Structure 1
Amino acid sequence: MNINALTLKQLRAFTSVARLGTLTAAAEELSLTKGALSVALHELEKQLGHPLFDRVKNRLVMNSYGQQLRPLADELLQRTMTIESLFGQGNLAGTLNIGASYTVGEHLLPMLVGNFMQRHGCQRPHLIVENTSHLCQLLESYELDLALVEGQINSQRLMARPWLQDHMLVVAAPGHPLAQQTDLPINALEGENWVVREAFSGTREQFDRRLAPLLDNWQLGLEFNTNTAVISAVASGIGLGFISDLAAADALCCGRIVRLDLQQSWTRQLNLVCAADKYQTPLMSTFMEYALQWQGLQNVTEERIS
C-alpha cells in the first residue's frame, strides 16, 4: 500500500461518490469528466489495496472498507479548509451543510443563519429541512455537518448539545366545544379526533411519548408531514392538534385556531447535533458556538408580542 501517493483529488472523488451514489452525479458536482473521476477512484482503491464500493446495478454502495475510510477522508478534507482559513486573512473558509427539523427550519433557522452571516461574512451555507429521523441518517453518513432538531437523539454515533426550549400546545378550531373552557384536566381530551404530524417527526414523537399515553381513548383524524397542513386541518374542525408554540403562533394571533387552557403543560428540548467523530472546522465550530449563545428565540417571542 502506497499511502504517500494518496491525493486530495482522490479523497474528494471518494466522498462525493459515497454521498451521491453514482459516478455521473459526483462528476457533475466536482466538475470532472466521468472518466477522470473513475480513474481517481480506481487509483485510490488500488493504493489502499481494497475496493471501497460494491457495484449494485447503476449505483456504488459503500462497503465496510469505505465506511471505515469515510470519517477519516472527511476529516482530512475538512482540515484542508482549516489551513485555508488559517492563511486566509481571518476568513472562515468552506461551506457548511446545515439541517433543521421542520419547526426549527420554518421558524428559527432563517433568522439564525442570517444573523450569523451578517456577523461573520462567511459563504452561504447549504440548508435542508427534513424530519428528525432523516436528518440523523444524513449526519451519520456525513452528508450534513450539523443539524438543529426537535426530536430525541438515540444514536450513539451522534453528539447532541442542548440548544433552545420550545413549548407544545393543544390547539383547536375556535368553535370547538372545549375552546371556551378553562383549566381543563387531561381527561377532557378523551375521545377526541387528532390531527398529527407524520411518524418519525419530532412533533409526532412528542405526541406519542408525552400526550397519547395519558389518554385511554383517542382517534387519529388525519396525518400530515407539515405543520401548516396540521394547522389548516385543525382550523377546519377535523380534530385537535398537538403542535409547537412556534409553529402555531401566527394562526393563534389571527384567530384561525385557539389554544386549549389545560392544567398540564409541555416543554421540549431543541438540540444541536453532529456526528460524534466529525472533525470541526473553524467555520463549523464558530457556527455551533454562535448558535448555542444565540438569543433569537427571545427575539421571535418579542416580535410576536409586539
Structure 2
Amino acid sequence: MRFSLRQLEVFLATAHYQNISKAADSLAMSQSAASSALKELEQQFDVLLFDRVGKRLQLNEQGRLIRSRAEALLEQAKEVESALMQHQEAGVVKVGATLTIGNYLAVNILGDLLQVHADAQVELSVANTQSIVQQVLNYDIDLGMIEGEIQHSELDIIPWREDDLCVFCAPHHPLAKKTLLSDEDIKNSHWILRESGSGTRQAFDRAMHGILPELNIMLELQHTEAIKRAVGKNLGVGCLSRIALEDAFKRGDLVELPVPQRDFIRTLYFILHKKKHRSAGIERWLAFCQRAS
C-alpha cells in the first residue's frame, strides 16, 4: 500500500482545521511531522489535495473527492483496531464441561464469577469427554473441563483437581450393610454405569482392571441423575463421582459401599487447543476454577 493511515489522519485533520499547525496539535504531532506526512501523500500520487491560500489550506476538487472515502477507511480501521484490542477484555467464553463437572462444579464456579464480575459472559455446554475433546479440536469451544484421561498432540492438557468415584446402592439393597465389598461381591452385582466414552466410565473400567470382563453390566446411561434414580429403585449398583453423590449420601437416599482394594482416584483436567489464544476471559475463568478447587 502506497499510503499510511497516519497520512490519511493528517489529511482529514487538515481538511477539518484548514491549518496544518492545528491539525498537528489535534493529532499530538509536531507541525513538521504533519507537514511531511501530507507532502509525502501528495507526492506519492503526484496530486495536490489543497489550495494554499495564505496560511489556510483549503480542500480542492481532488481533495473533496477522496475525503469521504478516507473517512470511511479510517472508520473501518478503528473497527479493526477495536476488534484486535478485545483480547484485553474478557469477552464471551465458551466452556465445555463433562456431565459431572458441568452439573456439580462449573455451575457453582459460574455463580461465583458473576458475583464478582456481573458482566461476565460464559456459555456453558455439557457433554461427555469424547465430545468435549472434539469440540475443542474444532474450535467450537474455547476450553474443555473433562474427567477422562486423554493424549493429543494438538491439545494442552492441564491437571486441575483430584476426584474419586464411589460405589453405591440403595439403602435396602442386600449389600447396603456390608462394611467392605469384595471382588466376588463386585462380580456378582448388577451394575448401572455411565456409557463408554465418558470420563467416569473410563475411570471405573481402569479401577476394575483384572475383573472387568466378569462384571454384569445391566444398564449404561448417559446421565448421572438417571443412574442415581435407577440405583435408588434398587435396580442395581452404581459408580459415580463423589461430587455427584454427596447430597444423596447425607439424606440417606443412597449408601456408599467401601471398596478399598480398588483405586477410584482420578484427576480432572482443563483442555485447550495449543493454537488457541488465551483471552482475558479464558484466563479469568481458569483462575476462578483454581480458586474453587
In which range does the TM-score fall when normalised by the shorter chain?
Answer: 0.5 to 0.7
In the aligned structure 1, how far is the partner of 2:255 from the partner of 2:288?
35
CA gap of 1:149–1:82, structure 2 versus 1, over 3 A, is farther
Q: Within the alignment, does 1:220 sit opposite 2:222 as a pair?
A: no
Q: Within the alignment, does 1:205 sit opposite 2:202 as a pair?
A: yes
3-state DSSP of counterpart to 2:188? coil
- Please show how residues 162-177 of structure 1 align to structure 2 within 5 Å: 162-177=159-174
Name the counterpart of 1:244.
241
After TM superposition, the structure 1 stretch with the greater mean CA deviation from structure 2, 191-200 or 212-221, is 212-221
Q: Which amino acid aligns with 1:184?
A: L
- Please show how residues 179-194 of structure 1 align to structure 2 within 5 Å: 179-194=176-191
User: Structure 1-normalised TM-score?
Assistant: 0.65
Q: Which amino acid aligns with 2:243?
A: L
- 1:92-130 alpha-carbon deviations (Å, 9 max, x no partner): 341000111000011011111121232234432111011
In the aligned structure 2, how far is the partner of 1:144 from the partner of 1:254?
37
Cα distance, 1:184 vs structure 2? 3.1
- 1:4-29 alpha-carbon deviations (Å, 9 max, x no partner): xxxxxxxxxxxxxxxxxxxxxxxxxx
3-state DSSP of counterpart to 2:174? coil
CA gap of 1:109–1:241, structure 2 versus 1, over 3 A, is same
Identity %: 29
- Please show how residues 71-220 of structure 1 align to structure 2 within 5 Å: 81=83, 83-84=85-86, 86=88, 92-211=89-208, 213-215=210-212, 217-220=214-217
Cα distance, 1:198 vs structure 2? 1.2
In the aligned structure 2, how far is the partner of 1:140 from the partner of 1:263?
37
User: Structure 2-normalised TM-score?
Assistant: 0.67
In the aligned structure 2, how far is the partner of 1:167 from the partner of 1:279?
32
In the aligned structure 2, how far is the partner of 1:213 from the partner of 1:119?
48
Name the counterpart of 1:271.
269
In the aligned structure 2, how far is the partner of 1:190 from the partner of 1:118?
47
Unaligned runs of 5+ in 2: 2-79
CA gap of 1:248–1:79, structure 2 versus 1, over 3 A, is farther
Name the counterpart of 1:280.
278
Whether the 8 Å CA contact 2:200–2:240 is kept in 1: the answer is: yes
Whether the 8 Å CA contact 2:142–2:282 is kept in 1: the answer is: yes
Unaligned runs of 5+ in 1: 3-77, 87-91, 298-306
Whether the 8 Å CA contact 1:185–1:263 is kept in 2: the answer is: no
Q: Which amino acid aligns with 2:154?
A: R
CA gap of 1:119–1:156, structure 2 versus 1, over 3 A, is same
In the aligned structure 2, how far is the partner of 1:229 from the partner of 1:156?
35
Q: Which amino acid aligns with 1:266?
A: F
- Which has more radius of gyration? 2
Q: Which amino acid aligns with 2:86?
A: E
In the aligned structure 2, how far is the partner of 1:81 from the partner of 1:164?
35
Whether the 8 Å CA contact 1:81–1:93 is kept in 2: the answer is: no
Whether the 8 Å CA contact 1:96–1:284 is kept in 2: the answer is: yes
Q: Which amino acid aligns with 1:268?
A: R
In the aligned structure 2, how far is the partner of 1:266 from the partner of 1:200?
17
Name the counterpart of 1:255.
252
CA gap of 1:79–1:213, structure 2 versus 1, over 3 A, is farther
Aligned length: 215
Whether the 8 Å CA contact 1:82–1:282 is kept in 2: the answer is: no
Whether the 8 Å CA contact 1:189–1:215 is kept in 2: the answer is: no
Tell me the C-alpha RMSD between the 2 structures. Answer: 2.4
3-state DSSP of counterpart to 2:172? coil
